[in-house]
């Protein structure tokens, strides 16, 4: 690693000799100013978009029922927040998502690891999961509503199905592709299968579990909101449907903004976790 | 070679008798004879190398001795006991370091011990000694990707030494290293060997490496691998890298070359080094 310093080590962009920094990590001084530039430009672009949107509404270029200007959305958001409605609906959606994902992880991770580890087990499960994985889970919504009624558990079941298949497919593929060399080490040292599983298979599959969780969370949020749009009595999707039918466009936008924010937050959190568990991976 | 009929482990750590290894190629409905009736032995406390061209089956022999290759004909016995699968009496140093990337140096060196059911804390305590032996003190908490190739191979070696095997198997451990690091590691290995005096079976395709490290060099022919010659290396120990520059060393290397390709081992006409 440190013996090979590539050709052409001149110029300002190679001020840091890679050999002198054995622990490669983010946050090198050279990266700082560029990241600032990116954040600033991004902010400017968002603000410009909002301004244009505001002006379009104020000048009457677009119908307010079609597109509420940002200040109206903000006011609607404040009102919903003050009344406690927003918190209530967000809470319901998040609980449906959380319970569904937790159950999906509880079942999907062990089943995925087992299917990646045991070929026979995967032969049993593969055809079933292939069918379900290829089908958008949301099409089961009417059936599930018929079984469980409109409420909490129908959403939970839909999120569970979505999350389970995401986790199963990602984790079983990851475990199946585990580096053979690691397994050979355990075998050559005469490890028992149980220890091999604990010391190689489980830690080796952590990155896939986190990647699967990230997929499951993103798709799960979509599933909750769409399921609520279709049939519900509360939640973010219900807000979109209800206020949309009543032409209260600003309130619809509040629900959309909150949904987007939740999705981005969840993804950012899981991406951080992903980077942390991949810390020991070579930087590509 | 040795007197026939000796079945006890009298000073013999590894005895390989009439070993043949055949691979089935189902797609072509044919078979490859990788190794053909090979017999040799490794005396306890000695360093024996198997050398031969690529594809001569030397790695297959090593994997068989390690217990990783079940389908073979012949007899392989470690200290008089026929092997059946991997065992705690042997440890393998891999060609690619094969370290667990989520474990630190300390955790990787302790890993073999943990496979042998040594409790994690005790395994780490014992691993420390071997980290010092391979001169990696101070790097205990580094992850494999933070180490150079040579350092990774030191961890690979320490992991195998830490289980204190009665037979240490090394599969071309320096093949993937650059020439300089490789020389340094050869020097390190002789230093460590002179301290531990483990019994070693070492695989390489580099003749000078085999001569430098070994008490005995077993030369294999190209596929199917058979034994072409067994050369006892009588160069005095301890050896240092300076040994490689002595006339006596070059003479032995030349002898081995002559056995492989008659006429190629004359000192005036050194064959190109095989990388």
User: Can you give the pLDDT at residue A142?
Assistant: 92
Please list the residues that pair with A254 across neighbouring strands. Answer: none
Rounded to an integer, what distance in angstroms lies between the CA atom of residue B174 and that of residue B212? 14
CB contact under 8 A, A190 and B87: yes
CA of B232 to nearest chain A CA: how many angstroms apart? 29
Out of A187, A190, A280, name the one closest to residue B143 (CB). A280
The tens place of each residue's pLDDT in chain B, 275 residues long, gives 444 434 456 789 999 999 988 888 878 778 888 888 899 999 999 999 999 887 788 889 999 999 998 889 999 999 989 998 999 999 999 999 999 999 999 999 999 999 999 999 999 999 999 999 888 999 999 999 999 999 999 999 999 999 999 999 999 999 888 888 898 899 989 988 988 888 999 999 999 999 999 999 999 888 778 888 899 998 888 888 888 889 999 999 998 888 877 777 655 545 555 55
Give A4: exposed, middle or buried? Use CB within 10 Å, 0-12, 13-18, 19+: exposed
User: Does residue A200 belong to the interface with chain B, where contact is any CB pair within 8 Å?
Assistant: yes
Peptide bond into B164 cis (omega under 30): no
Structure tokens at B102: 């989520």
3-state secondary structure of B77: strand
End-to-end CA distance of chain A: 13
Name which CATH class applies to A70-277: mainly alpha
Q: A21: pLDDT confidence band, cut at 50, 70 and 90?
A: very low
User: Does residue A190 belong to the interface with chain B, where contact is any CB pair within 8 Å?
Assistant: yes
CB contact under 8 A, B143 and A189: no
Query: Which chain A residues contact residue B96 at CB under 8 A?
Result: 181
User: Can you give the pLDDT at residue B242?
Assistant: 87
User: Can you give the pLDDT at residue A23?
Assistant: 45
Rounded to an integer, what distance in angstroms lies between the CA atom of residue A138 and that of residue A225? 10
Which of these ranges, A10-24, A222-236, B29-43, B182-196, has the smallest mean pLDDT? A10-24
User: Can you give the pLDDT at residue A153?
Assistant: 95
User: Does residue A199 belong to the interface with chain B, where contact is any CB pair within 8 Å?
Assistant: yes
Q: Which helix (H) or strand (E) holds B202?
A: strand B200-204
User: Can you give the pLDDT at residue B209?
Assistant: 93
DSSP letters, A112-128, are HHHHHH-HHHHHHHHHH
pTM exceeds 0.80, yes or no: no
User: Can you give the pLDDT at residue A36?
Assistant: 64
The chain B residue lying nearest A278, using CA atoms, is B102
CB contact under 8 A, B98 and A182: yes
User: Can you give the pLDDT at residue A35?
Assistant: 60
pLDDT tens-place string over residues A65-84: 788 888 899 999 999 999 99
3-state secondary structure of B48: strand
CB contact under 8 A, B145 and A281: yes
3-state secondary structure of B222: coil
Q: A32: pLDDT confidence band, cut at 50, 70 and 90?
A: low
Chain B interface test: which of A182, A188, A281 (most B C-beta within 10 Å): A188
Chain A interface test: which of B97, B98, B108, B165 (most A C-beta within 10 Å): B98
Answer whether B256's CB lies under 8 Å from B51's CB. yes
Name the nearest CA neighbour of A230 among A242, A219, A220. A242
pLDDT tens-place string over residues A113-144: 989 888 888 888 888 888 887 888 999 999 99
* Whether residue A155 has pLDDT greater than 70: yes
Q: A177: pLDDT confidence band, cut at 50, 70 and 90?
A: confident
CB contact under 8 A, B144 and A1: no
């Amino acid at each position: 690693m440190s013996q090979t310093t590539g050709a052409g080590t001149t110029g300002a962009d190679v001020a840091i000799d890679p050999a002198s920094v054995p622990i490669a990590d983010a946050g090198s001084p050279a990266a700082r100013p560029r990241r600032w530039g990116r954040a600033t430009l991004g902010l400017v672009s968002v603000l410009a978009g909002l301004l244009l949107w505001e002006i379009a509404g104020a000048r009457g270029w677009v119908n307010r029922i079609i597109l509420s200007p940002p200040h109206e959305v903000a006011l609607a958001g404040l009102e919903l927040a003050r009344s406690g409605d927003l918190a209530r609906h967000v809470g319901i959606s998040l609980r449906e998502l959380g319970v569904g994902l937790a159950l999906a992880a509880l079942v999907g991770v062990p089943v995925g690891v087992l299917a990646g580890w045991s070929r026979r087990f995967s032969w049993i499960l593969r055809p079933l999961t292939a069918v379900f994985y290829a089908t958008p889970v949301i099409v089961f919504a009417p059936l599930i509503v018929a079984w469980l009624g409109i409420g909490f558990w129908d959403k939970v079941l839909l999120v569970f199905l979505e999350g389970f298949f995401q986790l199963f497919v990602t984790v079983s593929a990851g475990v199946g592709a585990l580096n053979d060399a690691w397994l050979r080490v355990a075998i050559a040292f005469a490890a028992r299968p149980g220890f091999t599983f604990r010391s190689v298979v489980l830690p080796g599959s952590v990155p896939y579990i986190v990647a699967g969780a990230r997929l499951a969370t993103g798709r799960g949020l979509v599933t909750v909101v769409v399921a609520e749009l279709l049939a519900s009595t509360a939640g973010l999707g219900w807000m979109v449907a209800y206020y949309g039918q009543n032409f209260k466009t600003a309130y619809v936008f509040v629900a959309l903004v909150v949904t987007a924010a939740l999705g981005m937050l969840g993804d950012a959190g899981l991406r951080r976790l992903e980077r942390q568990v991949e810390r020991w991976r070579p930087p590509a | 070679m040795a007197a026939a009929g000796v079945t006890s482990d009298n000073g013999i750590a590894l005895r390989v008798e009439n070993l043949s290894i055949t691979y089935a190629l189902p797609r072509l409905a044919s078979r490859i004879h990788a190794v053909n009736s090979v017999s040799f032995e490794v005396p306890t406390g000695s360093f024996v190398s198997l050398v031969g061209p690529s594809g001569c089956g030397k790695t297959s022999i090593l994997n068989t001795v390690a217990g990783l290759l079940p389908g073979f004909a012949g007899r392989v016995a470690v200290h008089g006991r026929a092997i059946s699968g991997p065992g705690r009496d042997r440890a393998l140093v891999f060609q690619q370091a094969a370290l667990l990337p989520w474990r630190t140096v300390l955790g990787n060196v302790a890993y073999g011990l943990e496979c042998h059911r040594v409790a994690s804390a005790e395994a780490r305590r014992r691993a420390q000694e071997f980290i010092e032996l391979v001169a990696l003190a101070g790097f205990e908490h580094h992850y494999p990707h933070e180490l150079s190739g040579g350092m990774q191979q030191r961890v690979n070696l320490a992991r195998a030494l830490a289980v204190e095997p009665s037979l240490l198997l090394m599969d071309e451990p320096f093949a993937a290293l650059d020439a300089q690091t490789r020389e340094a590691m050869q020097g390190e290995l002789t230093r460590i060997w002179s301290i531990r005096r483990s019994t070693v079976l070492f695989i390489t395709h580099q003749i000078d490496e085999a001569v430098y490290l070994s008490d005995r060099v077993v030369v294999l022919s190209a596929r199917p691998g058979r034994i072409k010659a067994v050369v006892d290396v009588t160069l005095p120990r301890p050896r240092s890298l300076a040994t490689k520059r002595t006339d006596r060393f070059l003479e032995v290397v030349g002898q081995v070359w002559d056995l492989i390709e008659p006429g190629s081992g004359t000192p005036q006409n050194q064959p190109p080094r095989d990388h």
